[in-house]
Chains A and B, each alone.
Chain A
Amino acid sequence: MTSTTRKSPYRQGIIDSSPFILVIIPFASLFGVLASEAGLSVVETMAFSIVVIAGAAQFTALQLMQENAPTVIVLISALAVNLRMAMYSASLTPYIGAAPLWQRALCAYLTVDQSYVVGVSKFEREPDMTVAARVSYFLGAVTPIVPLWYLFTYVGAVLGTQIPDSWALDFAIPITFLAMIAPMFRTAAHVVAALVAVVVALLAAGVPYSLGLIIAGTAGMMAGAQTELWLERKGNAK
């Protein structure tokens, strides 16, 4: 390991989140297309993507507004879809909680599924990173994602052409998330957490407002924590 081959945390973040470029482009342009089909102007569509910056919640809100749902219901549903962001925030706190407030605010705005998973898996792998290096890395991880989210929302809104269904890009999201998560299964507790979460997610798929996800995630986290405790006790008993 010579110093010449060491990359800055920012650049390393860019490299590590680059597989998500494939996901963001179709997802953002789809939002642009659907928003313009729903009658939103380009400015309104862009404001949506820049202010809210959360794919699934934006799709939910758009869908419900088209169905003329009451505004309160639109807001509750879309925020429920985004409730996992509070869990991400809690999970990032031990790593970047000591950063200056403005940096934490910036990271909060830029917390999306992709930047969270890239960031937290790096911070777990390398516990010796400084807080400043973690923030740089996190900002690197959003660099290939967020600008493309804005840009392709615009492209979708202006061109109004969807990427053909036959390209099967709908499945880019599950594949990239699974690929990203797989190296994080370091202990039996991680595996138990994921299995419990998956089973509960499938059982709770019918729960309204996407709350099944929160129930499943919480169940998985509890299962992981309990397994960790159990493994510790077993280790101490030896």
Chain B
Amino acid sequence: MIETGTLWTVIIVLGLGSFGLRFVFTGLVGDRAMPDWLLRHLRYTAVAILPALVAPQVVWPVATDGVFDIPRAAAATAALLIGLVTKNVLMAVLSGAVTLYGLLYLIG
């Protein structure tokens, strides 16, 4: 059982801390110019962080207790490839979904 006091401490401090992390640059730097070297790194934030977030879930899915799964790996590949080729997010999501359900149905 989680104690009520602990729970509310966690909710409030985690809320404040998360807001702090989200606000630290937009809030404190604002419209002041940032150095070129930093901007050059920040241009790659999205294309580095999100694939890094997803990669372990693709290779070791939680749903299969971390066992490599062909339908899931194929679905991720399909979403990425169709996204690269068509530049269309919705098409990419749909191809990923069709691949996933198709292979789950065929392979089980």
**Given A57-B14, A179-B93: A108 and B49 interface contact (C-beta under 8 Å):** no
The interface residues of chain B, by DSSP majority, are classed as helix
Provide the B1-40 mask, 1 if CB < 8 A to any CB of A, else 0.
1101011111111110111011111110111101001111
When the two chains form their complex, are residues A65 and B26 in contact, meaning their CB atoms are under 8 A apart? no
Total of A-B residue pairs, C-beta within 8 Å: 284
The interface residues of chain A, by DSSP majority, are classed as helix
When the two chains form their complex, are residues A222 and B41 in contact, meaning their CB atoms are under 8 A apart? yes
When the two chains form their complex, are residues A181 and B46 in contact, meaning their CB atoms are under 8 A apart? yes
B49 nearest CB across to chain A (Å)? 4
Tally chain B residues at the interface, Cβ within 8 Å: 76
Interface range on chain A (Cβ under 8 Å from partner): 35 or more
A161 beta carbon closer than 8 Å to chain B? no
Given contacts A75-B13, A181-B83, A194-B47, 13 further A-B pairs with CB under 8 A are A52-B11, A79-B21, A86-B21, A116-B46, A171-B100, A175-B97, A178-B79, A178-B92, A179-B92, A193-B44, A197-B49, A221-B44, A224-B44
- A-B contacts, 11 of them at CB < 8 A, read A61-B10, A89-B23, A93-B29, A168-B71, A175-B93, A177-B53, A180-B89, A190-B44, A194-B47, A198-B52, A223-B48
Which residues of B does A touch, CB under 8 Å? 1-2, 4, 6-15, 17-19, 21-27, 29-32, 34, 37-63, 71-72, 75-76, 79-84, 87-90, 92-93, 96-97, 100-101, 104
